[in-house]
């Protein structure tokens, strides 16, 4: 399963700042219609995290596992060691993030 981390805010700009702080890297703003437009990509070596709205607008399904559909914003990661090692930085802030799937 791909890493999926819930973010404890409904404000994508606040979430971006939190992820940038935790990962010590800047997120690049992107646009994609499937992801409600705006999302942020965080490059981590050979992989990446993406901060997205948790709903695929075409499939009307969450990007997270179905049992976490109530999370408004999630961070999705590649299944690569460079990404998995950064999950701990987010896990260290349980006031801001919750690991939903690894």
Q: 39-92: per-residue pLDDT in tens?
A: 999 998 888 999 999 988 788 889 899 999 999 999 999 888 878 888 999 999
The predicted pLDDT at position 100 comes to 96
**How far is the C-alpha of 20 from the C-alpha of 18, rounded, in Å?**
5
β-pair partners for 98: 6
* Alpha helices (H) along the chain: 12-23, 81-84, 87-91
The predicted structure's pLDDT at residue 36: 60
Q: Which class for 90: exposed (0-12), middle (13-18), buried (19 or more C-beta within 10 A)?
A: buried
Across 14-21, average pLDDT: 98
Q: At residue 96, does pLDDT exceed 60? A: yes
CA dist 10 and 74 (Å) reads 10
Residue 14 has pLDDT above 70, yes or no: yes
> Nearest-CA neighbor of 15 among 57, 67, 74, 76?
74
Given a contact cutoff of 8 angstroms between Cβ atoms, the answer to whether 92 and 22 are in contact is: yes
| pLDDT-derived band at 24, boundaries 50, 70, 90 | very high
The answer, yes or no, to whether residue 33 has pLDDT greater than 70, is no
Return the higher-pLDDT residue of 77 and 34.
77
């Amino acid at each position: 399963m791909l890493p999926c981390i819930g973010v404890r805010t409904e404000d994508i700009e606040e979430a971006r700042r939190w992820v940038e702080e935790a990962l010590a890297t800047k997120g690049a703003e992107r646009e994609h219609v499937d992801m409600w437009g705006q999302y942020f990509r965080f490059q981590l070596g050979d992989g990446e995290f993406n901060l997205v709205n948790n709903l695929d607008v075409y499939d009307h399904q969450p990007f997270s596992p179905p049992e976490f559909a109530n999370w408004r914003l999630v961070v999705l990661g590649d299944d690569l060691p460079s990404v998995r090692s950064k999950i701990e930085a987010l896990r260290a802030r349980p006031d801001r993030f919750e690991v939903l799937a690894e």
